[in-house]
Structure 1
Amino acid sequence: MIKEIFGNNLKKYRNSKEFTQEYLAELLDVSTTQIYKMESGKSFASAEMIEKITSLFGIPPYKFFMTESDLETESEDFQECARYIKSRIDQLFTKDIIK
């Protein structure tokens, strides 16, 4: 399961950059077959390869191991946190203005 999640995310992020498998393979100094196998969940990247991939895409490693529903929940949690922070800031400014 984890290999498939990683592979799906690798493909998603590769496509978002409009990279071909061939181009990504060249950037990572691996074969196109290796990229195909990682994306299809047939093989898994080493820790060093994961580091290279996440650095290349500028995406934290943990996001490569999250499903779409995990990412949606993370986004909802972030939005809830942002709303709370905004309300606290608004309260602080209101108190300062009233004083």
Structure 2
Amino acid sequence: MKQSFSNNIIFPIRIHNTPHFIKLFGKNIRIHREAAGFTQEQLAEKLDISCGSLSRIETGRQFVTQTTLENLSKALKVSVSDLFLYSTHSSTNNEKKIELLQYIETMNNYEIEYFLNQIQVYYKLKPHFKSFT
């Protein structure tokens, strides 16, 4: 599902200009870049920024401008809000979560409700399945 952009993006979460937040955001950009199959050089070229700037973004030493944020979303083919979703789990788990979110974005309300119900049932039964704990 494509997201349209305006000059005033409403961020999905309240942005705190803290080193911890910026570092987690940068890590998430790297995960999305790797999942899309780009090298830093390739993505930096698409964004029209230096490779050094992208490296600083990914390592949490620099935050993005609104224009770069929009361009990241377009280049990586994810919504702006997806760029703010992060996890401390491995890249593989993040890739699976990204894939799951992409499926969810294509679902109608009925399908979302159905699968949410299935997940809720799973979590109620999970303690009874030794192989899942």
Count the aligned residue pairs. 82
Instruction: Tell me what 2:108 maps to.
Output: none
The 5-angstrom pairing of residues 18-29 of structure 1 reads 18-29=37-48
Q: Does 1:50 align with 2:82?
A: no
Q: Does 1:83 align with 2:83?
A: no
Q: Larger Rg: 1 or 2?
A: 1
User: Matched residues in 1 for 2:82 and 2:70: separation?
Assistant: 12
Q: Cα 1:67–1:24, aligned 2, differ >3 Å: closer, same or farther? A: same
Structure 1 residue ranges, 4+ long, deviating more than 6 angstroms after superposition:
none
Where 2:60 maps in the other structure, the secondary structure is coil
* Alignment deviations for residues 12-71 of structure 1 (CA, whole Å, 9 cap, x no partner): 1111122111111111111000000000000000011100100111211112112227x8
Matched-pair identity in %: 23
Q: Cα RMSD between the aligned structures?
A: 2.8
TM-score (norm 2): 0.52
Q: Does 1:34 align with 2:53?
A: yes
TM-score (norm 1): 0.68
Q: Is the 8 A contact 2:43 2:75 kept in 1?
A: no
Structure (1/2) with the larger helix percentage: 1
Instruction: Tell me what 2:3 maps to.
Output: none
List alignment gaps of at least 5 residues for structure 2. 1-19, 89-93, 105-110, 119-133
User: Matched residues in 2 for 1:85 and 1:44: separation?
Assistant: 38
List alignment gaps of at least 5 residues for structure 1. 87-99
